[in-house]
Amino acid sequence: MPTDKTTDHADSAPSLDLNNREYYINREISLLRFHQRVLEQALNESHPLLDRLNFLLIFSSNLDEFFEIRVSGLIQQAVLGEANPGPDGLLPSEVLDLISDSCHKAVTKQYEILNNQLLPALEKENIKFLRREQWSEKQSAWIKQYFKDMVEPVLTPIGLDPAHPFPKLVNKSLNFIVSLDGKDAFGRQSGLAIIPAPRSLPRIIRLPDDISQEGDNFVFLSSVIHEYASSLFPGMKAKSCHQFRLTRNADLVIDEDELEDLPGALKGGLISRRFGDAVRLEVVKSCPEELCTFLLKEFELTERDLYLVNGPVNLTRLSAAYNINRPRLKYEPFVPGMPLALKKQEDYFDVIRKKDILLNHPFESFKPVSDLLAQAAKDPQVLAIKQTLYRTGANSDIVNHLVEAARNGKEVTAVIELRARFDEAQNIEVARRLQEAGAVLVYGIVGYKTHAKMILIVRRESGELKRYVHLGTGNYHAGNARLYTDYSLLSSDTDLCEDVHKIFQELTGMGRVMKLKKMFHAPFTLQKELIRQIAQERENALAGKPARIIFKANAITEREIMQALFSASQAGVEIDLIIRGISCLRPGIKGVSENIRVRSIVDRFLEHTRVYYFENNKAPVVYCSSADLMGRNLHSRVETCFPISDPDLAKRIKKESLDIYLQDNQRSWILQSDGQYKLSTIKPETEAFSAQAYLLNALTKIKNAKYYPWCYR
């Protein structure tokens, strides 16, 4: 394990302080730059038009969570004086100032893209979002009736006076502040009112075909309420009406040490999450300064927290427009591939008994994982099923098969992580269904989230017990498996199955840490084993042996891992890090990280795979993992890291998840030593190449590849 001081290339070289703040990038700023790379996809005309719109909406959703969790956490640290700077040395107050400056610029750019590029392009395709001044006479009449029938009955306007204080507004809800003229029925003249828009109301409304212009015509709910705001206050006139949205702290903090009922506590926490402390105020750009000041004062926010937007305050609700039937404006649909061995054989146990099966999602189907559970649920020879569940739908096939297995008398044990952020309610429902079916439920370990992805099936064969496992890098969520890149390994390897069995024993029972034969697991062995193998590559380089490291993960923030990589780089190890989101490691620093390259791939599918490759003196080792290179993964979660023992599968992962991603010059962003990312450019002597496009063409059935002309088969 590296120390604070480490040698450069030889023992006689001067030592470097690897705690130097200049070697690191702030975690929150790095995450924000990832969100900005997502926003850039809305400008990329090689994406289909509706998918460009979708990238814009994903950016909006990402930014919401960024404020709800990351910014709110920084605000609490700054207020409480809990200044624990990360490796970069920035204090929370300093980071908040940087975030405010960057986010204001990004939000301005977001609305410029929407108004100046996407909406005009959509209008050319006869997809129109009509402003009030664009409504025809027939449309106005229909909208007025729609307001009376569908909107007005569920609105509750609230006049502001001493008897009607400012209402407690739900996190991220659409609201309107209205300036009124006149007196109400009781002679009151407060001048201001608030109109909350219930979440049951759709934020965009598609007009009927018989009153539409050609194509798909939509109106915003905000425009409808604005138009008829005066009718909500009889005898008074709405002088102005301006939409706004408040973002609140949505992080759940529960003291598990003093809990007897975790599900019950979480249910209460989910209610309080809707009314956490205010962290951001979005107001339509036309709102007068005095009303903005009034709202800021009401929510105890500052000018730094105010975002004036040129359009709807909640762009994520535009996602309804993506669902219209315009296939030409979306990515070409594809059918995920299926391994030949599984196509020919209905008995999955027989296939897995003979050979490990690797699935590369979403290019290959997630269905075999679900089908394996379905077969196990019905198979009279299957005695027990154990599974971890982090994110999964309450009515997913995976849960249905576990319910069926329990009802069929199998010993079903589910380790459910109730605290998976923003999936808590779904997971509580999953737990309820499984408990009612007779499954044994475990909620993980107090103080540690269970993030590992494991299934263990115990089957009686020829009078003996045989184990089968599924290990994955992603969640047991069929929807995510169509959108995220991940690996699944199906195996009956004796040592691997024994390791999984021991980890389940740790999760469900009590006792000392068990020694595993092949796997590493956090919070016990994973970090130290990764550091040990990084150090071995360093020693190989110093001895003149082949040395190479390639990591693919979502984030790298853990200080000791970064320092180990710096040390290896100083020794001459060539290191490539394919990091989708956060990289606190600053590459390209002479004498420190000049042999480290960091790239981020942002494309159609969310990169989610975790793969760790070591050259190991021409005897390469490849690991897949549920864990990112973050402190929370390595120290505060239960994670797994498993070797790919089959040489052919290891070579396949090296090619599909590492080599071709390093070739990508279409969707690859290269991290510079100043902390900025630059989109990779095509050199004159090279062909244009996209990693995800390559995998789509190589592993799936796709009608045509017109959106992927740069991909060679």
Active-site annotation, residues? 451
Which residue carries 């999602």 as its tokens?
A: 361
User: Are 607 and 586 spatial neighbours (Cβ–Cβ below 8 Å)?
Assistant: no
Give the CA angle between residues 215, 218, 219 to the nearest 5°: 150
φ, ψ dihedrals at 96, nearest 5°: -60, -40
List Cα–Cα distances, 557 to 25, 30, 404, 532, in angstroms: 9, 10, 41, 18
Angle between helices 27-40 and 92-113 (to 10 degrees): 0
φ, ψ dihedrals at 307, nearest 5°: -125, 110
Render 163-177 in DSSP notation, one character per residue. Answer: TBPPP-PPTT-EEEE
Query: Bridge-partner residues for 95, per DSSP?
Result: none
List Cα–Cα distances, 59 to 39, 113, 197, 537, in angstroms: 6, 12, 23, 38
Render 613-650 in DSSP notation, one character per residue. Answer: EE-TTTS-EEEEES--BSHHHHHSEEEEEEE--SHHHH
Render 449-497 in DSSP notation, one character per residue. Answer: EE---EEEEEEEETTEEEEEEEEESS-S-TTGGGTEEEEEEEE--HHHH
Which residues are CB-contacts of 144 (< 8 A; sequence separation ≥ 6)? 228
Burial of residue 254 (number of CB atoms within 10 Å: 0-12, 13-18, 19+) = middle
**CB atoms inside a 10 Å sphere around CB 594:** 14
Identity of residue 15: S
Using alpha carbons, select from 110, 284, 323 the residue that is nearest to residue 206: 323
What is the spatial distance between Cα 336 and Cα 369, in angstroms, rounded to a whole number? 13
Give the CA angle between residues 36, 38, 40 to the nearest 5°: 75
Peptide bond into 196 cis (omega under 30): no
Dihedral angle computed from the Cα positions of residues 35, 41, 42 and 45, in that order, rounded to the nearest 10 degrees: 170
What is the spatial distance between Cα 473 and Cα 641, in angstroms, rounded to a whole number? 9
Handedness of CA 14, 20, 24, 27 (dihedral sign): positive
Residue 38 tokens, joined? 């997502």
Which residues are CB-contacts of 663 (< 8 A; sequence separation ≥ 6)? 689, 691
Residue 290 tokens, joined? 């005095």
Using alpha carbons, select from 560, 387, 402, 408 the residue that is nearest to residue 471: 387
